[in-house]
Amino acid sequence: MRGFAQDRPLGTCPDCGSILSCLYDYEKAKETLTQESLRRRQKTLWRYSEVLPGIAPQNVVTLGEGMTPVVRLKSGLLLKDDGLIPTGTFKARGMAVAVSKAKDLGLKKLVVPSAGNAGSALACYAARGGLAARVFMPTETPQSIVKECVQYGAEVVQVEGNIGDAGARMRTQMDGYFDMSTLKEPYRLEGKKTMGYEVAEQTDFELPGAIIYPTGGGTGLLGMWKALDEMEKLGLLGSDRPKMFSVQSEACAPIVDALDTGKDAPDPGFPDGTTIAVGLRVPRPFAGKQIVAVLRESGGGAVAVPDPEILEAMKSLAKEGVFASPEGAATLAGHRRLLEAGAVARDEEVLLYNTGTGLKYLDLVR
Ligand SMILES: *Cc1c(COP(=O)(O)O)cnc(C)c1O
């Protein structure tokens, strides 16, 4: 394994093109990152500083993100609500850390291809940090998200097709901008892993039996898994892991297909399909192999749900006061199917991860 210093901008591995993963001195971190000390820290994701990239304090770009609530639904399910974070989706976690690190490294212009929410999170944190942002988005991205980017002052380029097409167009037009694509730089994952730290803390280090997570590019899922591994190294958790389940849309479910057909990675030619859950429309996830491996290793799996069931789940969550995004609501629809299939038990403690607010998708409300 080759190592790289974190004092200059990094993309993927220059030798083999694979994902770079941040490592820390866990023995040293262990001395200060304890359950006891966590109780006294600020209620933001920056509380896990020992296991976040080194950033000079004046370059930390923050809006107080993190420590979103975990609520119990009437059904007994737990729901962690990242609808209540700057920009209304968990993409803020990744961008808060990655934009801060970019600023610390002296980068000034950042670009991302996005189905929507990563773009607005980049636009938001770039604005906060005084950096320039450019976002390439499919034309189907909800107008509310496009306008959000524009309001933050980002330059938006709309592209026919899916997020892959947006990325291809971006690469023909880099103009000195730094590529912040999912898993093509190492720090968005570090921000997103704080979801795992928070879930552990908020369940008093007694993790639920299963976590159901909507999966597109997979950073959320991989980040959470990395957090659990790190917490074991830090002595904060034992070796038990929750079963991790990915939920995808029936219209675009490469991960579900790979698991169902016993493959190690999604089919590289997996066909595209549109869904109201735009964040899940990733037919060829760059980290497909790693996602499949985590789901298998955890004893969990993947489940696909059709759009009408996602809409039903949005309504049903709203009746309890949670206005979830279609991606987030898909976890409830997925839970129903996993119950039917016997993959989770009725009395099992299950956490649904709501990745975003429904307020960004008002066109879906009739
Ligand atoms: C991006 C996104 C997802 C998918 O997350 P990945 O980490 O790319 O798998 C899920 N929900 C929402 C609201 C998103 O914006």
| Pick from 136, 89, 51, 170: nearest CA to 361 | 89
Using a pLDDT cut of 70, give the percent of the chain over it: 100
Q: Which atom of ligand 1 is closest in space to residue 246's alpha carbon?
A: 9
Residues 114-163 pLDDT 10s? 989 999 999 999 999 999 999 999 998 989 999 999 999 999 999 999 88
Q: How far is the CA of 215 from the centre of ligand 1 (A)?
A: 6
Distance of CA 271 to the CA centre of its chain: 23
Domains 70-90+189-364 and 92-179 share a fold: yes
pLDDT computed for residue 162 by the predictor: 87
What pLDDT, in 10s, does the model give residues 162-171? 888 999 999 9
**Is residue 32 packed enough to be buried (19+ CB in 10 Å), middle (13-18) or exposed (0-12)?**
exposed
How far is 251 from 341, CA to CA, in rounded Å?
20
Fold classification of 92-179 (topology level): Rossmann fold (3.40.50)
CA–CA dist 143, 25 (Å, integer): 44
For residue 77, name the pLDDT band (cuts at 50, 70, 90): very high
Average pLDDT, the chain: 96
pLDDT tens digit sequence for 241-264: 999 999 999 999 999 999 999 999
Pocket test for ligand 1, best of 82, 149, 215 (most atoms within 8 A of CB): 215
Query: For residue 21, what pLDDT is reported?
Result: 93
Buried b (16+ CB within 10 A) or exposed e, 251-271: bbbbbbbbbeeeeebbeeebe
Q: Which of 19, 355, 364 to mutate to test the pocket of ligand 1 (most atoms within 8 A of CB)?
A: 355
| pLDDT for 128 | 98
Q: Average pLDDT of 275-302?
A: 95
Q: Which pLDDT tens digit goes with each residue over 42-66?
A: 999 999 999 999 999 999 999 999 9
CA of 281 to the centre of ligand 1 (A): 9
Measured in Å, residue 122 CA sits from the centre of ligand 1 at: 14
**pLDDT for the residue 234:** 98
Spans of all domains in the chain: 70-90+189-364, 92-179
Q: Is the pLDDT of residue 1 over 80?
A: no
Report pLDDT for 342: 97
Nearest ligand 1 atom, CA 182: 8
**pLDDT value for 126:** 98
Residue 236 is predicted with a pLDDT of 97
**Which residue is closest in CA terms to ligand 1's atom 3?**
279
Place of tokens 């499949």: 292
Higher pLDDT: 92 or 183? It is: 92
Distance 219 CA to ligand 1 centre (A): 8
Question: Of ligand 1's atoms, which has the minimum distance to the CA of residue 216?
Answer: 9
pLDDT exceeds 90 at position 90: yes
**pTM for this model (two decimals):** 0.96
pLDDT the model gives residue 199: 98
Q: Does domain 70-90+189-364 have CATH number 3.40.50.1100?
A: yes
Tell me which residues have their CB closer than 6 angstroms to ligand 1.
89, 91, 117, 182, 214-220, 279, 325, 327, 355-356
Residue type, 120: S
pLDDT of residue 347: 95
Indicate which atom in ligand 1 lies nearest the CA of residue 215. Answer: 9
CA of 366 to the centre of ligand 1 (A): 24
Q: What is the mean pLDDT of residues 231-246?
A: 97
Distance separating alpha carbons of residues 241 and 182, to the nearest angstrom: 25
Among protein residues, the one whose CA lies closest to atom 1 of ligand 1:
279
Nearest residue (CA) to ligand 1, atom 4 = 216
- Which residues, listed in sequence order, are joined to residue 211 by a DSSP beta bridge? 244, 351
Give me the pLDDT at residue 366, please: 85
What is the dihedral sign for C-alpha 78, 117, 163, 287? negative
Residue 358, sorted as left (phi over 0), alpha (psi -120 to 50) or beta, turns out to be alpha
